[in-house]
Structure 1
Amino acid sequence: MKFRFDAAAAVVAVLAGCTACASEPRAGAPATTTTGTTATATPAASETKIRGALTGTVRTDKERARDDARHPAETLSFFGLREDASVLELWPGGGYYTSILAPVVAERGKLTITNFDPNGDPKAYQTKGTIELFARLDKNPEVFGKVARQQIATPNVNFGQAASYDFVFTFRNIHNWIEDGFADKVFAEAFRVLKPGGVLGIEEHRGKPGMTVEAMNKTGYVPEDYVRQLAERAGFRFAARSEINANPKDTTDHPNGVWSLPPSFAGKDVDREKFVAIGESDRMTLRFTKP
């Protein structure tokens, strides 16, 4: 398993019941594509909190440099994040989104992150990544002091108490779950711990329709309809999709998969200027709800 750790006006999220959205075109699409009949917006006060968190002192220069490609404020607004919400962030990597989510919900809500065992195999990248993340959180207790930690020992997955979260978020993780064979378990567990009406927010590298699982594992890209199948099989209802994180320059056929692109640059200096010009991956941004 190979985990890679890796603004425009606010977007109004939309909602339930569309079954045809996965076939909508990517290239040339507007910044946001949504479907449904009922709109759910992030409250203005929470929106202010989200945008304020982007200027937080705990954020690194590297993270700020990624904002133009990752559109964190627009993405979280699309998901409908509220400052009074209970939020679960799945496998936060180095903490890019954790550094934004934590201050937003610190006063009125709650943030929990999943993590691997920091006392595991010291040579394993999962252990190293967890230790590095925990060191960052512990160094900044004024921002991260209230962040709860939920240890996961895969392939067993347990996110805690049933119906305890308003939101479950995952950013660029699903290809890892597929590769390790426990994607269905993660989606089922996310469904279990969300409250009725709760939201599953997904951002993932978007592959071409019809990709095999082998191709997904090799490249890190996942077809949008495959992600929808995973979510709907767990019981989720598709609510909306957005093109906030679309990148039509990304052909998805790179020699080192998605890791050819920034910020990974797996090929190092080989064709580096080419990949810089492409930018970060083309990514789906999807919202699901628990009925």
Structure 2
Amino acid sequence: MKVSPLRRGAFRASIIILGSVLASGAQSLGTPVLGGMALAAESSGRGQVALQKPDAGLLASPARPDTDRARDALRKPLDLLALVPLPKGAAVADLMPGSGYFTRLLSLDIGASGHVFAVIPAEMAARHPQLSQTAQAIATNPAFSNVSVVVTPIVDFHVSQPLDLVWTSQNYHDVYGGMGPETALRMDQAIFLALKPGGYYVVIDHVALTGTGIVAPTTLHRIDPALITKQVETAGFRLVSSSPVLRNPTDDHTLPVFDKTIRGHTDQVTLIFQKPSAKGDGN
């Protein structure tokens, strides 16, 4: 992503690479590593993102359904959307959009000059046709005229233009556990190709205990963050930073995410990856 267009009067966020990526396994991501609302570098000095929230009026848009508003307090979308530079006119993919919660927010945030691709894996669309139907309903709503739906095999992730951002929330474990680690890696590689140099890949997911491997994704719908990092870095990305926004230290990571005692309150990791720029410096 080039720096010059990333202005909305001022930078929403700036990425400063302070050092090399933390070696795999150097510290567990299964417990909170950061405090407060500012996204800071982990203790290794890996990277830092200065947060500036989008306009709070975004959440009040009359185009958003009441069901989305009811989830805002838990999902903290303004904090999350501030984690990467997201200019008006950006090209964004919401991968596995589910109910379209983030599809609608991303659409409103980037404006009519931007575009949001709601990307649904063909494998999931075949089993759950309502996923495509939900996304199509958003795309046909005049309030979200900058949204289009793409159904494609997960290992052939692609859209019609280079992307500034690929966003996926609470989904990586489904690919890793349901389709296998190799499929998840091939997905990451395809996403790498679909992004512009300097583009971002944001992965949010429910945290599993360190070392739980493929068991947690298939039984608890959680994933060890180290597995995500290993896969995505293997595909060529740099882990820029991770955010504490959705961390919950009271979650012991042993319950399925649908258990009524933890549902909606799971400890979630937010990982911000970047495709190295054309200069090859990761910025």
Bin the TM-score by the shorter chain: 0.7 to 0.9
Equivalent residues of 1:26, 1:246 under 8 A apart: yes
Matches of 1:199 and 1:40 in 2, distance apart?
A: 13
Matches of 1:28 and 1:195 in 2, distance apart?
A: 29
Equivalent residues of 2:34, 2:243 under 8 A apart: no
| C-alpha spacing 1:19/1:91, structure 2 compared with 1 (3 Å) | same
Equivalent residues of 2:92, 2:166 under 8 A apart: yes
Q: Which runs of 5+ in 2 are unaligned?
A: 1-11, 277-283
Aligned Cα RMSD in Å? 2.8
Aligned to 1:199: 200
Equivalent residues of 2:16, 2:49 under 8 A apart: yes
| Equivalent residue in structure 2 for 1:62, among 60, 63, 67 | 67
| 1:201-216 → structure 2 map (5 Å cutoff) | 201-216=202-217
Matches of 2:173 and 2:46 in 1, distance apart?
A: 31
Aligned to 1:93: 98
| 1:1-291 → structure 2 map (5 Å cutoff) | 14-16=15-17, 17-19=20-22, 22-23=27-28, 25-26=31-32, 29-35=35-41, 36=45, 47-48=54-55, 51-116=56-121, 124-125=127-128, 127-138=129-140, 140-141=141-142, 143-154=143-154, 156-160=155-159, 164-179=162-177, 180-181=179-180, 182-254=183-255, 257-260=256-259, 272=260, 274-275=261-262, 279-291=264-276
Equivalent residues of 2:169, 2:205 under 8 A apart: yes
Amino acid of the residue matched to residue 285 of structure 1? T
Q: CA deviation at 1:15?
A: 4.1
Equivalent residues of 1:111, 1:146 under 8 A apart: yes
Q: Percent identity?
A: 25
Q: What are the superposed Cα offsets for residues 224-248 of structure 1, whole Å, 9 maximum, x if unpaired?
A: 1111101100000111111001112
**What is the aligned residue count?**
254
| C-alpha spacing 1:177/1:108, structure 2 compared with 1 (3 Å) | same
Equivalent residues of 1:239, 1:288 under 8 A apart: yes
Matches of 2:247 and 2:21 in 1, distance apart?
A: 20
| C-alpha spacing 1:152/1:70, structure 2 compared with 1 (3 Å) | same
| C-alpha spacing 1:22/1:137, structure 2 compared with 1 (3 Å) | farther
Matches of 2:46 and 2:189 in 1, distance apart?
A: 27
Equivalent residues of 1:114, 1:149 under 8 A apart: yes
Matches of 1:98 and 1:27 in 2, distance apart?
A: 29
Matches of 2:226 and 2:111 in 1, distance apart?
A: 35
Amino acid of the residue matched to residue 282 of structure 1? D
Q: What are the superposed Cα offsets for residues 197-252 of structure 1, whole Å, 9 maximum, x if unpaired?
A: 11111111111111120222111111111111011000001111110011122222
Equivalent residues of 1:13, 1:34 under 8 A apart: no
Q: CA deviation at 1:161?
A: 5.2
| C-alpha spacing 1:287/1:60, structure 2 compared with 1 (3 Å) | same
Equivalent residues of 1:15, 1:37 under 8 A apart: no
Q: CA deviation at 1:116?
A: 4.9
Equivalent residues of 1:117, 1:130 under 8 A apart: no
